[in-house]
Amino acid sequence: MAKNPKEDLFADSTMTFGEHLEELRQCLFRAAIGLVIGVGFGLFYADDVIKQIQVPLKASLRSYYRNAALDRIQDDDIAQAELAGLITKEDYVSNDIEVELDKLLMRLKVAVPQQLGALDFALYSFVPDDFILEAGEPSKHTDFFRNFKTAFDSKQPWAAFLYGLLDEAQQAAVERLTRTGDGTAADAIAVLNHWANDPTVFNNEHIRELVKTSIEAPDAWWSELDTSGDENKIDVDKVFGTLTNAIEQPSVGTTIEDRRRRVNKFALSSAFPEYLRSARPATITLPVWEKKDIRVQTLNAHEGFMIWLKAAFIAGFVIGSPWIFFQVWAFVAAGLYPHERKYVYIYLPFCLALFFGGAAMAFFVVMEPVLDFLFSYNRMMAIDPDPRISEWLGFVLFLPIGFGIAFQLPLVMLMLQRIGIFTTKAYLAKWRVAILVIFIIAMFLTPADPLSMLLLGGPLTVLYFLGILLCRFMPRSKNPYAESYDPV
């Protein structure tokens, strides 16, 4: 009991509003100084921070490409057994590419002359894919030759010219294609390639008349063969002159027969666009295996520098966080009574441990499963992710900080119990409502996916019951002013 009953027991522990503001200013200033010093040290570790924050992202991207590669062969059990190690252990992925068949064969002849040097093939030949093939419909090769035979029977000049180039066996193949329907695509291709090899096809006036109709159609790509330079009108004679020069001018690796075949194929494809695709190189689809190099991208020149500064700030905040948190608690302590201020030194280590524990759990435990879950939708929709490092940096900051703040739950519960707002019995009685609130808060503190919400809500539920244990078993300090008296 005070010696003088008239004495104000709290005279030395009360602060005016202005004094609170001054204390806040000083604490913020000291915290800012600590942050600046931390950022100064963080500049030396920015590179390491950038490398470290990419680890979960690269791991998830690697898992995404690995699973996508396995999805491509999921219907082939033997291929899965053969390629599983290559995909899962060595991180190889396959991509299908279109390769020009003619160029491939030429390169193979040069690369392995002992085995393939005697290989005989004709460049720029027709292949079955040159016939138009619409989804759910048969190839147009039968329709083409039926139209051709009808034109021949009606004595159209172009059909009579082409039919006259065929020998008896080829004419019989045309009959099979048009009358009995027994002709195959191979028969059709053989006839087309016979025409493509004939030196008179491109120079025939009737064939040129058909090609002219295609040239005069509104297709801008024909202008590439018109050397007149007039953008508004295509000079047909100039186009024919360009094609004629393509035959006569020598070209490395080709003969005049190859060049003639190329132009004839071009002319025939243009003359019959309803049945033949526009002239193009013959291609085949080949799988190519490559070791996937996971890279995170920047999209402009200054983005890399800004990321480096942000990484330095992150490192500086981590380095200076004990001092920053101490200043926060120092401001709180300034408004407490003397017997309550020792809680600052009890709560501060708990606060730091819980914050860093939550942030570490988010980065090392939660981050990769969350990314795997999010990338699974990319795989489902066949959309390859291409993350930017700047966007990823924001995600890295948001999730650990959200976890670190949420992990303060036991201290918040203890503080509310100590100041009399809640009791331990109330915490136990309302635990179902508390868990519901925890998961609602977890929903706002995490990205928009259920997995990260569960990964935060689960630990917070455990921390809720830990908070109850702290409230129940953590000893209270004895209040020096517990003895009551009337100061009047």
What does the pLDDT look like over 45-54, one tens digit per residue? 888 888 888 8
Residue 267: predicted pLDDT: 87
The 10s digit of each residue's pLDDT in 321-349 is: 888 888 887 777 776 667 667 767 777 78
Assess whether 332 and 413 both reside in one domain.
Answer: yes
User: pTM of this prediction?
Assistant: 0.58
Asked if 230 and 311 sit in the same domain, the reply is no
Hey, what are 135's tokens? 């989804």
Chain-wide mean pLDDT for the chain? 79
**Statement to judge: residues 253 and 317 lie in one domain:** no
Own/partner pairs for 415-418, CB < 8 Å, 24+ apart?
Answer: 415/347, 417/471, 418/343, 418/476
In a domain, residue 389? The reply is: yes
Work out the average pLDDT over 17-31. Answer: 83
- What is the share, in percent, of the chain residues with pLDDT greater than 70? 84
Give the number of domains in the chain.
2
- Dist. CA 228–CA 2, nearest whole Å: 111
Beta bridge partners, 281, equal none
Q: In whole angstroms, how far apart are CA 99 and each of 106, 288, 328?
A: 12, 11, 65
Residues 367 and 279 in one domain: no
Which domain-ending residue is among 288, 317, 351?
Answer: 288
- Give the type of residue at 72: R
For residue range 128-167, list pLDDT tens digits in order: 888 887 665 666 788 888 888 888 889 899 999 999 999 8
| Euclidean distance between CA atoms 312 and 42, whole angstroms | 5
For residue 252, how far is the Cα from the chain centroid?
42
The two most distant CA atoms of the chain are separated, in Å, by 134
Same domain, 277 and 385: no
Query: Stretch 433-447: mean pLDDT, rounded?
Result: 85
Q: Is the pLDDT of residue 485 over 60?
A: no
Instruction: Judge if 30 and 154 occupy the same domain.
Output: no
pLDDT classification of 488: cutoffs 50, 70, 90: very low
pLDDT at site 37:
92
pLDDT per position as a tens digit, 352-386? 888 888 888 888 888 888 888 888 888 888 888 87
Q: Between 78 and 217, name the one with better pLDDT.
A: 78
pLDDT for 456: 84
Question: Are 421 and 461 in a shared domain?
Answer: yes
| 219: pLDDT strictly greater than 50 | yes
pLDDT band at 9 (very low <50, low <70, confident <90, very high): very low
Q: Going by C-beta distance under 8 Å and a sequence separation of 6 or more, which residues neighbour residue 58?
A: 294, 296
Element (H, E) at 291: strand 283-291
Helix (H), strand (E) at residue 97: strand 92-100
Name the pLDDT band for 478 (thresholds 50, 70, 90). low
Give the domain-ending residue among 239, 260, 288.
288
CB neighbour class for 130 (10 Å; exposed up to 12, middle 13-18, buried from 19): buried
pLDDT score recorded for residue 195: 93
Which residue did the predictor score with more confidence, 7 or 392? 392
Q: How far is CA 232 from CA 227, 238, 456, in A?
A: 13, 14, 66
**Domain boundaries, position 49:** 17-63+296-473
Does residue 210 sit in the same domain as residue 336?
no
**276, β-bridge pairs:** 131
Out of 67-71, 342-346, 425-429, least confident range: 342-346
Of the residues 288, 305, 322, the one at which a domain ends: 288
Q: Work out the percent of the chain whose per-residue pLDDT is above 90.
A: 4
Domain membership of residue 229 (yes or no) is yes
The answer to whether 471 touches 445, Cβ cutoff 8 Å, is: no
pLDDT at residue 110 is higher than 70: yes
Contact (CB, 8 A) for 247 and 263: yes
